Amino acid sequence: DAEITQSPRHKITETGRQVTLACHQTWNHNNMFWYRQDLGHGLRLIHYSYGVQDTNKGEVSDGYSVSRSNTEDLPLTLESAASSQTSVYFCASSEGSPHSNQPQHFGDGTRLSIL
């Protein structure tokens, strides 16, 4: 079955370090998204991509970057981790054009703690 996989599931790191979270989907979806989930804030969009070589900033993009070199992967990089970036991170994908209203499929998340 097609799926979306996030790795690692848990990570602890120190402030100032560079961290990369992986997201891999096997649906061949054009659209991919990164969110962070925090108590009291719900789900907030970090970055998104509508296809290879396309990336866009979301609501809370400062301190994060993404690149889309193929259809399957959208890694999220924290350039210099800060304690405020401690959160649960979710990757999602959806099929079709950006105008389509196909539902997003979510990974099971990465719990990131920055000490």
Partner 1 sequence: AQSVAQPEDQVNVAEGNPLTVKCTYSVSGNPYLFWYVQYPNRGLQFLLKYITGDNLVKGSYGFEAEFNKSQTSFHLKKPSALVSDSALYFCAVRDNHRGNTPLVFGKGTRLSVIA
Site string for partner 1, 51-80 (x = CB under 8 A): -------x----------------------
Gyration radius (Cα) of the chain, Å:
13
Q: Which is nearer to partner 1, 14 or 38 (CB)?
A: 38
DSSP annotation of 104: P
Determine which residue in the list 22, 45, 73, 95 makes contact with partner 1, applying CB under 8 A: 45
Q: CB under 8 Å to 59, separation ≥6 — which residues?
A: 44, 45, 46
Which residue stretch of 17-25, 67-75, 79-87, 103-111 sits at the interface with partner 1 (rule: CB under 8 A)? 103-111
Q: With H, G, I as helix, E, B as strand and everything else as coil, classify residue 53.
A: coil
Give yes or no for residue 96 binding partner 1 (CB under 8 A): no
CB of 50 to partner 1, least distance (A): 7
Which residue stretch of 20-28, 67-75, 77-85, 94-102 sits at the interface with partner 1 (rule: CB under 8 A)? 94-102
CB of 63 to partner 1, least distance (A): 19
Give yes or no for residue 22 binding partner 1 (CB under 8 A): no
| Order of strands, sheet of 76-78, starting from the edge strand that comes earlier in the sequence | 4-7, 19-25, 76-78, 64-66
DSSP per residue, 75-102: -EEESS--GGG-EEEEEEEE-S-TT--P
